[in-house]
Structure 1
Amino acid sequence: MPSAAAPSPTLTDDLALALRLADAADAVAMQRFDAADLRVDTKPDRTHVTEADLATERAIREILDAERPGDAVLGEEYGSSGDTARRWVIDPIDGTHNYMRGIPIWATLIALTVDGVPQVGVVSQPALGRRWWAATGHGAWTTTATGDTRGIHVSGIDEVGAASISFQSIEQWDGMGLLPTLEKLARAVWRDRGYGDALPYMWLAEGRLELVAEFDVKEYDIAAIAPIVREAGGRFTAFDGSERLDAGSSLATNGILHDAFSGLLHDEDRAR
């Protein structure tokens, strides 16, 4: 008799694997963090890559090759392999410039998308002793620096004037011709800061911020973040309102204020 086909993995299985991938990535990345002899090269797009970026992605891919050989993989450093509905999306070290300068605000981002929709996300920041994760229908969670696990949820702030936001960097907004929009947004809210990279999204999911907006993002920058924000009760779209991961921008909010923020951000467009 022919052997029965192996059952398809559930989201619970996939999330458990993603967490193990993060364990492996943490171990590799921390070996070289803040090393005086860290090797740093320049990629063709003139961005930096360290030996740790490459080694961390290789470690993740080795496990995926063994445990999910039929799945496609997209990674920042080694590109795309496979062409299936299920695709793992990896940024081995999000925040390479922080990593290479010994600043502990960097993360490994691991996501599983199904038909282009992110279903599992893990954001691991081992230098801070923090990790966040989610899977569709399973809620959003974090481990604290003391090792406790708890569920997380976005804030209930419902007034723009009481909101705290992160705009990432002035350079991004200037490159889009949106500095006047950023200034107007900053004047409309209670507090604005440019925290950068994945961490402010996690603070939003924990209820500490109400908006994070970013431009010039790739799929591997945001695929792991989207399900965590959504499962924490927030909204995650592109600047144009679509939910595509390849739109080149991100607008994450506590959900309650999403339309209000979107209106503020697009007032300048309507005025032109």
Structure 2
Amino acid sequence: MPELPEVEALALDLRGRLTDRAITKVHVAAISALKTFDPPVSALEGTLVDDVTRHGKFLDVHASGLHLVLHLARGGWVRWRAEVPDVPPKPSVKSPLAVRVVLDDGSGLDITEAGTKKRLALYVVRDPQDVPGIASLGPDPLADDFTIEALAEILQREGRKQIKGVLRHQGTIAGVGNAYSDEILHAARMSPYKPASTIVDDDLETLYAALRQTVGDAVDRSRGLAASELKGEKKSHLAVHGRTGQPCPVCGDIVREVSFADSSLQYCPTCQTGGKPLADRRMSRLLK
């Protein structure tokens, strides 16, 4: 799933490609992706792209007072095409193409979604705050006003909730998902199950530094890369996420996993849990 660093880099890449270009057509190939009806998608035709920005994990294409907002969900991506076909795409459950944006010079964007669970969302709105997911976003962890005091207030408010869930909840902190929450907690040498309100003093300083540095470094590495390079860049710099069974790059212990219904987390026992593996109920059932 694209998270804050990748979406930030996508916004920067698309800003350079789309700004001052006119949108001539938006083809919605997967009607399930379209979440709004007023203004209609056709209202984007003839608009001029002014900017491309980010809100958490949402992409926002500003076009003559309207906003084409995208949430790429787990399997979505944006592919730049120097030339798009003249024939509009046909809706097909077998095709990954969800939306095609055509520009006045014949170039455009293909917005695709892999997998069978279709969660990609497209909104056409007059104000990005009209998108429920944007209106409910928590603070951006790279914003100047996201201070250590702001993080401390969040952690105390969340009480006994596990820090892993707190970090990835978009209404609490915007832009951090499953992958970077694993990486932040590994950098902080902290258990994903640690209760939020117990993180104080030195632990608070450690977590704040790990959060800002992990996400900030990923943004710096991604800045300037084309969309086609971002997934590979992210994967090549992950210490624990998606590396179950491989050695931890810090201590050499084996990276372990805890699985849930629709996701999983990865961690290093030596670095994060005092050498003790966390219980994985799915694996426990398999061993019975």
TM-score by length of 1: 0.27
TM-score by length of 2: 0.26
Q: More relative contact order in 1 or in 2 (CA 8 Å, sep 6+)?
A: 2
